[in-house]
Amino acid sequence: MRGELEPDFEFEPWGPDRGLKLGHCGHCNRSVRFDPIEEGSGFNVTSPDDYGDDVENTFLLGRCPHPPCRRVTIFHRIVSKPAFGGDFHLQHEEVIFPRTSVKRSLPDEIPPHLRTLFEEAEQIEKLSPNSVCFLARRILEQALREKTDSRKRLEDLINEFPEMEGVTSSLAHLVRRFGNIACHPKTADDGDWVDVDPQEATAVLGIVFELLDFLYVRPTRHSRLLARADAKANGKKPDALPSANDKKPKTLLGS
């Protein structure tokens, strides 16, 4: 029986072909067909819970086929079976290594210190949603302060940044609001603490990626393209395009 974690991520939980089959390698950021692990591509640990039901923890493995990556992805699956018979019940499933199943490649136009903060947030994406949103808010605020050289509140920075209007401004405020939820503890009507959900943290991190692209990448690449257009309009040759033999993939507007 083939299980499905998400689109294009497939695994076999039982039998001789047990293991990860298709998916995304979070180490090298590729969609891959996983190679089996030489020592075995999965194992089970079964134990009773407090109600006497059997709980089976299944760990499924797959190795990235691309050199020089060749690193392992581990998927954890939890199912339970009632003590008095009945069908297995799926309780939980997720990629547990690497902790983030999709890593975004940040362009060189983004300052190194912001890339470091973003990579730190990616490393804990599956561990601490509150911390992810705290870091996301910090990245946004730090970027806007550097762009404006202002010590105003983040809300004012977003509202007053000249290019940040409409949808872009709304997205920036979303990052700010979820960062505030992570930083300022509150209780709900039922008395439980209000926390950021994992899905919300992943979405917020994706928005920060878009905002960094808006603030740093697009202006730089547009300036490069404009310089090439100006040079050609004046009968001059612009700088040579990257060679196809370059080791690092590049684009016309990329670095």
pLDDT (tens digit, 0 to 9) for every residue of the chain, 255 residues total? 334 444 457 888 877 888 999 988 878 878 899 999 877 788 888 888 776 778 889 899 999 999 989 999 998 888 888 767 677 788 888 888 886 655 667 888 999 999 999 989 988 887 889 999 999 999 999 999 998 888 889 999 898 887 777 778 889 999 999 999 998 888 888 888 888 988 898 889 989 999 999 999 988 888 888 888 988 888 888 876 554 444 444 444 454
- Measured from the Cβ of residue 32, the count of other Cβ atoms closer than 10 Å reads 21
**Residue 34 corresponds to which amino acid?**
F
**Residue 247 corresponds to which amino acid?**
K
Nearest to 75 by CA among 44, 49, 53: 44
| Ranges for all domains in the chain classified under CATH 1.20.120 | 112-233
Residue 242's pLDDT is 52
First to last CA, the chain: 46
- The first and second tokens of residue 69, run together, are 């990556």
Residue 101's pLDDT is 53
pTM: 0.58
Instruction: Provide the Cα torsion 45, 50, 53, 58; round to 10°.
Output: -20
Class of domain 112-233: mainly alpha
Residue 167's pLDDT is 76
In the beta sheet, which residues pair with residue 74?
61, 97
Strand pairing report for 89-97 and 72-81: antiparallel
Residue 244's pLDDT is 40
pLDDT tens digits for 118-127? 989 988 887 8
Residue 25's pLDDT is 86
Residue 125's pLDDT is 80
